[in-house]
Amino acid sequence: MFARAAEPFSIESFLAEEQSKDLLRFTTAGSVDDGKSTLIGRLLYDSKAVYEDQIRAVKRASAGELDLALFTDGLRAEREQGITIDVAYRYFATARRKFIIADTPGHEEYTRNMATGASTADLAIILIDARHGVQPQSRRHAFIAALLGIPNIVVAVNKMDLVDYSHAVFLAIEREFRPLHPRAWFVPISAREGDNVVRPSRRMPWFQGPALLEYLETVPLASTGELSGPGFFRFPVQRAIRTNHGFRGYAGQIAAGLVRPGDEVTALPSGRRARVKSIETFDGRLNEAAAPMSVTLTLDRELDISRGDLLTAGDPPQVARSFAARAVWMHADPLTPAKPYLLKHTCQTVSATVSAVRSLEGDTADRLALNDLGVLAIETSRPLYFDPYGRNRATGSAILIDPHTNATIAALMLVGAEGVGQAVPPADRRMTGKTACPTPVTLLERASRFGHGPAAIALRGSAARKLERLLFDRGANVAVLTHWDDAARVLVESAGLLALVTGHSHALPSPGALPADDDAAAAKALAFLLETGIL
Amino acid sequence: MIALSHLQRLEAESIHILREVAAEFQRPVMLYSIGKDSSVMLRLAQKAFHPGPIPFPLLHIDTGYKFHEMIAFRDQQAARIGIQLLVHTNRAALAGTNPFRVGVSRCCQLLKTQALLDALREGGFDAALGGARRDEEKSRAKERIFSVRDASGQWDPKNQRPELWNLYNSRIRPGESIRVFPLSNWTELDVWQYIHLESIPIVPLYFAALRPMLVRGDTLLSPEQPFIPTLPGEKPRLVRCRMRSLGCSPCTGAIRSDADTLPKIIAELISFRRSERENRVIDHDVEGSMELKKREGYF
């Protein structure tokens, strides 16, 4: 809802305007008292997304001046405690764009809630209190945002009014945070006073950028369709649709890419191929459809396809019963290795066990508790057909369910087939912000600068030299190692190195059989690094 | 390259949810309240399973106090689409119950909440689709799309399952059920735009017309039910008005309006500064009343 000038209203022009509007989903993260609820209240209030009766109710409940946080602090329990306890969704629109906010709380339960909000977000706003600067929690927020693959990060330095709108304070925070997320956009605001939230502030003439809302209205969104590369198509089948008149189609939501009648697709797990005969919808047949549309496909021949199968084109997905996944543990019951869990991935649910755990906080661990981050080695009763989460969220994500309590206990970001887990060594404690930082350069800073975390793959020597050049030119922190042992591992993990190991190293992942030509081999190995999410 | 509008994205998400419900539950049902949101949800169900039939019935909880025009519209729509329509009324309670005799919240509790729980239990339904949206009310903002209710139909806002990506956990224990809200991310304006773009039929009460109303300050009350107490000398007056949301006639206030077409309704809406539930008497009890109702099992 937004206010409009009292001009003659033309529904046609209004609807045309509305049709051109896209949708930005964003999430907000901040520590307790960073003013997050106040910021959201300010966005809703100043963009006129709250109604008069709601304003009256908040005025009644406010002590003194209008307490903007009350627009969003919904539930009785949290109002009694004075904190938000869960993810809440808010909606507002401007003349340019529609917005969905996933508002997540700032207290210690925030990891799981932030992960939930982040899973569907195009953008994250990380709030930092100007008086307190970058906190360990801020680092963790940046880390979770990166883990969940949020494309855009905004760092809003709030409460500028309490530091006399000091440019120096803002610059110091920007300098400290920048290495955590080199592409983040920084804005100094006062949510309480309204500076740079909806309107540019006159009290910070040193800031040249737009106000936060204008940035949200104009930040480019990843476009649908060809996002994952030409010819790349993923369609998890939700349901077969049959009618008495002999119609047989496959209903689902396109998870990646674009499809047209005549395209050849492969059905997994059968591996059989067919051409798309038509794209059926209630509104008629379509000439093309792209992610994330929900459509029904018919094929030119009968394949035995049912729910949970995947129609695919382009680079084949990984097919594996055991694979590595990054995890956010979301339940008070800790992980029990070897316990049978259920895993839901796209439209299929399979049995799964976790055989090895590595905490993102540190060493190998055999348990993961509420709000912990880790890397799991997972085995499933049936193969999954998936893409690394870094390549495609919809076919790279999964949830773990406890079959006894039915609780959703973990969010999984699939990394790759078995062995790739080796390439995902533990991040050190400094990375996740849980403990103090003993050395000046953190692993996350290294990863942010080089575009990769510590990893090692096995490769023949001549191809490794070619690949070293390619990776160096891309800005990677790369080195060729002739052998792999504990000392090499420590070096790789502490320096955030991407190691190409040419010696005897069966324990390491490798790109498989390589072409004889070294350039071609290096190109294939590079593709492997991208595919597995190492790069 | 296909650029999707926000409505196309919302539609795609809702269709995905409806198909998940049909695929993962033994015995789902769609709660049909006859309002504009139900009308949109019904159209989305047609889209989700086209060219096949909608694979679940509609269930209407009839309190006995719905507007007559709503009931006529309901029967006409079900016949037109060719879908099975179930109607449930708490007949045992109806005789002595009306909002003026027992109070609004008790009346709702018996004729809506209790009736709904009875109907779901008697029908053996394990999933109930509802047209609620998160933008309607603050306590709804935290509602999941798949929302588990315990064996007594109650909602525990402190013990909700996290919901990530579009991966919905539909697992329940015997006796539990799940309420599913495919329109969670739609706003009131989205719903009206969609009704307009898709030419979805809605109850005529949404359009402004001259109607006999009891005028009490800002409140316009329908005299349709004979038990509505009147003040000495009070008579219904013809007022040009419409309903912004639909419910029971004794508890749904009309608004003065000239909006007799969808474009005019949308124009009115975007100039509006009051939330749609304001004219619903049921929300006037106490702040946080919706959350209390939901904890008890109200939809």
Q: Going by C-beta distance under 8 Å and a sequence separation of 6 or more, which residues neighbour residue A27?
A: A101, A102, A103, A104, A114, A117, A118, A121, A123, A124, A125, A150
Q: Shortest Cα distance from B56 to chain A (angstroms)?
A: 14
DSSP code string of B49-73: HTTSPPSS-EEEE--S-B-HHHHHH
Q: Residue A207 — very low, low, confident or very high, per pLDDT cuts 50/70/90?
A: very high
Do you find a cis peptide bond into B51, omega within 30 degrees of 0?
yes
Q: Shortest Cα distance from B140 to chain A (angstroms)?
A: 8
DSSP category for residue A122: S
pLDDT digits (tens, 9 = 90+) for B74-102: 999 999 999 999 999 999 888 888 888 88
How would you class A218 by CB atoms within 10 Å of its CB: exposed for 0-12, middle for 13-18, buried for 19 or more?
Answer: exposed
Q: Going by C-beta distance under 8 Å and a sequence separation of 6 or more, which residues neighbour residue A505?
A: A456, A458, A483, A484
> What are residue A188's phi and psi, to 5 degrees?
-90, 125
In sequence order, what E strands does chain B have? 28-31, 58-61, 85-88, 127-129, 146-149, 177-180, 209-216, 219-221, 237-242, 255-256
Instruction: Tell which wins on pLDDT, A72 or B221.
Output: B221
What average pLDDT is seen over chain A? 83
Q: Going by C-beta distance under 8 Å and a sequence separation of 6 or more, which residues neighbour residue B108?
A: B99, B282, B293, B298
End-to-end CA distance of chain A: 42
Kindly state the tokens that stand for B80: 């037109």
**CA–CA separation, A317 and A437 (whole Å):** 39
Q: Shortest Cα distance from B80 to chain A (angstroms)?
A: 16
Q: Going by C-beta distance under 8 Å and a sequence separation of 6 or more, which residues neighbour residue B222?
A: B67, B211, B212, B213, B214, B228, B249, B250, B252, B254
DSSP category for residue A333: S
pLDDT digits (tens, 9 = 90+) for B108-167: 899 999 999 999 999 999 999 999 999 887 677 878 999 998 888 787 766 788 999 999
Contact A448, A139 (CB under 8 A): no
| Confidence at residue B231, expressed as pLDDT on a 0 to 100 scale | 84
| Confidence at residue B273, expressed as pLDDT on a 0 to 100 scale | 61
Q: Residue B296 — very low, low, confident or very high, per pLDDT cuts 50/70/90?
A: low
Q: Residue B298 — very low, low, confident or very high, per pLDDT cuts 50/70/90?
A: low
Indicate yes or no: CB of B267 within 8 angstroms of CB of A14: yes
Kindly state the tokens that stand for A307: 């729910």
Per-residue pLDDT at A74 exceeds 60:
no
**CA–CA separation, A487 and A496 (whole Å):** 14
The half-sphere exposure of A59 on its side-chain side, counting CA atoms within 13 A, is: 8
Kindly state the tokens that stand for A418: 């078995």
Indicate yes or no: CB of A243 within 8 angstroms of CB of B52: yes
Q: Residue A426 — very low, low, confident or very high, per pLDDT cuts 50/70/90?
A: very low
**What ipTM score was computed for the predicted complex, to two decimals?**
0.90
The type of residue at A177 is F
Tell me the residues of chain A between 107 and 126 that have a Cβ less than 8 Å away from chain B: 112-113, 115-116, 119-120
Selection from B88, B36, B90 nearest residue B58 by Cα: B88
Indicate yes or no: CB of B3 within 8 angstroms of CB of A407: no
Selection from A164, A179, A87 nearest residue A134 by Cα: A179
Show residues of chain A in contact with B271, CB under 8 Å. 3-4
Which run of H or of E encompasses A143? helix A136-147
Q: Residue A504 — very low, low, confident or very high, per pLDDT cuts 50/70/90?
A: low
Show residues of chain A in contact with B141, CB under 8 Å. 72, 74, 88-90, 103
Query: A57 touching B, CB under 8 A?
Result: yes
